[in-house]
């Protein structure tokens, strides 16, 4: 049974959780140890049984000391804090994959002689908001690095890895850019059927990385496919956004994550219980039409992460997740975009109607 701490207080999260604590300050200030530890302790104390362990979501990659401190208090159900640090410390990660012979875009820690064709990235960033075109103003930073901009198709490998066995699936991702955040994450669709040789190369690379970095449970491996060549961009060693693409109504994929972390073969559980969609897309709807006071609406059954009525969503912040199923990934993606338009109109029109004075 899930005991949940997060910063959003979404209606459907609270319904799904056995017990729940909302810490809204995390949205603006980031996760802090004192508040999180207190909330986790409260949930653990109130639980009728001792928790199996702690599943870390996004938000810890740039708080590596916090992840390590939590590992001293709880069993981490997933990749260890030490392994997370290796994946999210560029000065460790990129020399390691170079040693392994894994192709990746040219990466450096000193500013390039000319900024043209380079990206500036923040170590431990997520969601694409930390990526920008390099300019002459970008200097050396211990928290950043520079990577050559390479064209290609963004393909993510969703893995559940363990010493007992692995399972992999593939999705295609897209961005929803703004002027301030030109590489902001948009959504993903899958599962993809890839050319056999490319699929084999991706799986082989992911298995090599899993053993090298001692990864465990759900992991996302992000690649750019440039002229048939897979270039590794990053590893996200925790459950991420593409979990919404692959999991079924029973939560079998997440159950396989727990199984992998408990020393079982996740593929066995998936083969026995998983009921995957033919194709599904999942995308974030952002408040790009302006700040939004969430109105009272009947949320569509294909919406997730639904903010409570009255919540103020700042401009360009995420409002909800939209899902769509179809017979192919392309059709699911198209339907997902249509639904995002419908939900956007519903929310902004309803918010406007609530604000208008009644006569």
Q: Higher model confidence: residue 29 or residue 168?
A: 168
Q: Higher model confidence: residue 195 or residue 137?
A: 195
Confidence of residue 130 (pLDDT cuts 50, 70, 90): confident
> pLDDT at residue 359 above 60?
no
Cα–Cα distance for residue pair 246/171, rounded to 1 Å: 9
> pLDDT at residue 138 above 70?
no
Kindly state the average pLDDT of the residues 287-303: 97
Give the per-residue pLDDT at 271. Answer: 94
Q: Is residue 298 included in any domain, yes or no? A: yes
Check if the beta carbon of residue 342 is closer than 8 Å to that of residue 283: no
Cα–Cα distance for residue pair 310/347, rounded to 1 Å: 12
Residue-wise burial string across 191-226, b where 16 or more C-beta atoms lie within 10 A, e elsewhere: bbebeeebeebbbebbeebbeebebbbbbbbbbbbe
Give the per-residue pLDDT at 61. Answer: 82
Q: Is residue 205 included in any domain, yes or no? A: no
Q: Choose the weakest-confidence range: 73-77, 94-98, 135-139, 343-347.
A: 135-139
Give the per-residue pLDDT at 160. Answer: 97
> Residues 208-220: pLDDT tens digits?
999 999 999 999 9
Helix and strand counts by DSSP (H, E) for the chain: 11, 16
Confidence of residue 182 (pLDDT cuts 50, 70, 90): very high
Q: Is residue 187 included in any domain, yes or no? A: no
Give the per-residue pLDDT at 159. Answer: 97
Give the per-residue pLDDT at 141. Answer: 60
Q: Is residue 350 included in any domain, yes or no? A: yes
> pLDDT at residue 284 above 70?
yes
Give the per-residue pLDDT at 62. Answer: 80
Confidence of residue 285 (pLDDT cuts 50, 70, 90): very high
Instruction: Please give the mean pLDDT across all residues of the chain.
Output: 93
> pLDDT at residue 143 above 70?
no
> Whose CA is closest to 216, among 99, 53, 352?
53
Q: Is residue 332 included in any domain, yes or no? A: yes
Residue-wise burial string across 296-311, b where 16 or more C-beta atoms lie within 10 A, e elsewhere: ebebeebbbbbbeeeb
User: Which two three-digit tokens encode residue 96?
Assistant: 């390691």
Beta pairing, strands 153-162 & 165-175? antiparallel
Give the per-residue pLDDT at 153. Answer: 96
> Whose CA is closest to 295, among 284, 285, 306?
306
Q: Is residue 213 included in any domain, yes or no? A: no
Cα–Cα distance for residue pair 344/347, rounded to 1 Å: 5
> pLDDT at residue 260 above 90?
yes
User: Which two three-digit tokens encode residue 341?
Assistant: 């338009």
Give the per-residue pLDDT at 208. Answer: 97
Q: Is residue 103 included in any domain, yes or no? A: no
Name the pTM for this structure.
0.93
Q: Which domain holds residue 321?
A: 281-359
Kind and range of the H or E element at 213? helix 196-213
Q: Is residue 68 included in any domain, yes or no? A: no
Cis peptide before 272 (omega within 30 of 0): no
> pLDDT at residue 56 above 70?
yes
Confidence of residue 27 (pLDDT cuts 50, 70, 90): confident
Q: How many domains does the chain have?
A: 1
């Amino acid at each position: 049974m899930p005991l949940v701490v997060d910063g959003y207080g979404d209606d459907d999260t609270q319904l799904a959780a056995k017990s729940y604590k909302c810490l809204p300050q995390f949205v603006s200030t980031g996760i802090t140890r004192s508040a999180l530890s207190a909330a986790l302790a409260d949930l653990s104390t109130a639980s009728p049984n001792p928790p199996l362990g702690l599943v870390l979501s996004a938000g810890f990659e740039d708080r590596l000391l916090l992840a390590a401190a939590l590992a001293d208090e709880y069993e981490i159900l997933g990749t260890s804090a030490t392994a997370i640090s290796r994946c999210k410390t560029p000065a460790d990660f990129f020399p390691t994959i170079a040693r392994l012979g894994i192709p990746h875009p040219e990466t450096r820690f000193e500013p390039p002689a000319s900024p043209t064709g380079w990206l500036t990235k923040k170590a431990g960033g997520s969601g694409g908001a930390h990526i920008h075109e390099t300019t002459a103003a970008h200097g050396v930073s211990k928290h950043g690095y520079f990577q050559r901009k390479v064209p290609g198709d963004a393909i993510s490998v969703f893995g559940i890895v363990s010493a007992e066995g692995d399972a992999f699936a593939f999705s295609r991702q897209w961005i929803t850019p703004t002027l301030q955040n030109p590489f902001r994450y948009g959504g993903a669709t899958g599962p993809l059927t890839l050319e056999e040789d490319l699929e084999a190369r991706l799986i082989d690379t992911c298995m090599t990385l899993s053993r090298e970095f001692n990864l465990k449970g759900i992991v996302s491996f992000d690649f750019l496919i440039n002229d048939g060549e897979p270039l590794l961009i990053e590893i996200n060693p925790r459950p991420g956004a593409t979990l919404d693409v692959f999991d079924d109504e029973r939560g079998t994929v997440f159950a396989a994550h727990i199984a992998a972390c408990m020393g079982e073969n996740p593929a066995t559980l998936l083969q026995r219980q998983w009921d995957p969609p033919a194709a599904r897309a999942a995308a974030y709807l952002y408040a790009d039409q302006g700040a939004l006071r969430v109105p009272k609406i009947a949320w569509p059954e294909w919406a997730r992460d639904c903010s409570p009525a009255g919540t103020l969503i700042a401009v360009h912040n995420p409002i909800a997740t939209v899902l769509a199923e179809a017979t192919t990934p392309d059709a699911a993606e198209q339907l997902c975009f249509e639904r995002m338009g419908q939900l956007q109109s519903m929310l902004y029109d309803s918010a406007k109607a609530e604000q208008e004075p009644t006569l």
